[in-house]
Amino acid sequence: MVASLYRALTRFAKLHLMDGRLHEERTPLSVCHHGSANAVRLVTTTDIEWFMRRLAAQVYHLHPVDD
pLDDT of residue 1: 57
pLDDT of residue 40: 76
Q: Report the length, in residues, of the chain.
A: 67
13 three-class SS: helix
The pTM for the full model equals: 0.47
- pLDDT tens digits, 23-58: 766 666 677 777 777 777 777 788 888 888 888 888
Query: What gap in Å lies between CA 27 and CA 41, rounded to an integer?
Result: 10
